[in-house]
Amino acid sequence: MASHRKPRTRMRTTAPAVGLTTAALASVTLLSTQSATAAPAPKPSIEDVQKKVDDLYRQAGTATQRYNQAKEASAAQRTKVDALLDDVAKRADELNEARRTLGAYAAAQYRTGSLTPSATFFLADDPQSYFDQSQLMNRMAAQQQKAVTDFRTQQTKASKKRAEAVRGLEALTTTQATLRTSKQNVQQKLGEAQTMLSKLTAEEKARLAALERKKEAEAERKAEELARQQAAAEAEADRKAEEAAKAAGSGSGAGAGAGTGSDSSATTKAEKVLAFARAQLGKPYVWGATGPSSYDCSGLTQAAWKAAGVDIPRTTWDQVKIGTEVATADLRPGDLVFFYDDISHVGIYKGDGMMIHAPKPGANVREESIYYMPIHGSVRPA
């Protein structure tokens, strides 16, 4: 019966196992690749963080100057547009008045009708009345022609002013868009800097502070060296002046007086500039601010020189173009010192290699070595 059947041999195969092993290897390889791809980038060194943060603050300073420039342009354009709109309204009133005058003449002509000179002559009570009426009509015709001319003139002027006002409004829209973009750029750069700093551990923050102290110490050393050089140069100048005065004898009085007035005036202005700047020490840096409770760098320099009776432009890019260029070795108190290749920062020289400036967000107006940042150049406003 069924007992003669041979039992079915159970075949063992390694195919499934091989397939499973291949899939497992593929998974391991994929996971390894993903792990390698997802591996976090190495954490930047504190030196790199310091460099990056400083660069972000510098970029924010540049964006701040663009913001200041756009804000100033926007304000000027707004004033211009307001004046144009006032002028357009005035032209509209004059045009309406000319239109009313012209309408009055048209209505009068409609009421009286249009008669030929012959008809007017025959309808006149007497020749004298005819001539009087004729002269009156001539005068009215001349006035009517003048009214037409005035209307056309006012119409042309009004049209031109309206077109100019439209262009002014378009320019205002453009400058306001630039203003918004500059503001966003400042906020973006400052946000990136703050994010980097917020990720530092307490130990890393301490190391960063140590790097800052080292940087400040080196800057102060250079300031002291400049102070010694300036003191030596001043002493030498005084010695030569004294020798020249002795050699000139009694004639030195007139010579010594030459230029004293202008030097005295410049010194007085510089003293007022520094007095104002010192009074702002401790006030916070706020980008775009011009005082009195906070300042950005060029806002402080502009306000300080205004306190001395001298109006200077708003941005560092314009301030660097005024006055007289001065070498670093020849700096005097009150001079403006500019920094970085893009001229995005400025401070007020106070003497001995030091300046008063509004540094950056999170810091207050303070005294600092002019060598804390790379110097671009210096000017003497007045």
Q: Phi, psi at residue 346, to the nearest 5°?
A: -150, 145
CA atoms of 293 and 75, how far apart (whole Å): 21
The Cα–Cα gap between 122 and 134 comes to 12
Alpha-helical segments (H) within 249-283? 252-257, 260-279
Backbone angles phi, psi at 378, to 5 degrees: -145, 155
Q: How far is CA 305 from each of CA 201, 205, 309, 348, 382, rounded to the nearest angstrom? A: 42, 37, 7, 10, 9
Q: Hey, what amino acid is at 146?
A: K
Closest Cα partner for 341 from 295, 373, 309? 373
- Sorted by sequence, the CB contacts under 8 Å of residue 299 that are 6+ apart come out as 68, 288, 289, 290, 291, 314, 358
The label of the residue with tokens 């923050």 reads 205
- Residues identified as active-site: 297, 345, 357
Instruction: Please give the helix or strand (H or E) that residue 109 lies within, else none.
Output: helix 46-112
Question: Do 320 and 338 touch, CB atoms closer than 8 A?
Answer: yes
β-sheet bridge partners, residue 130? none
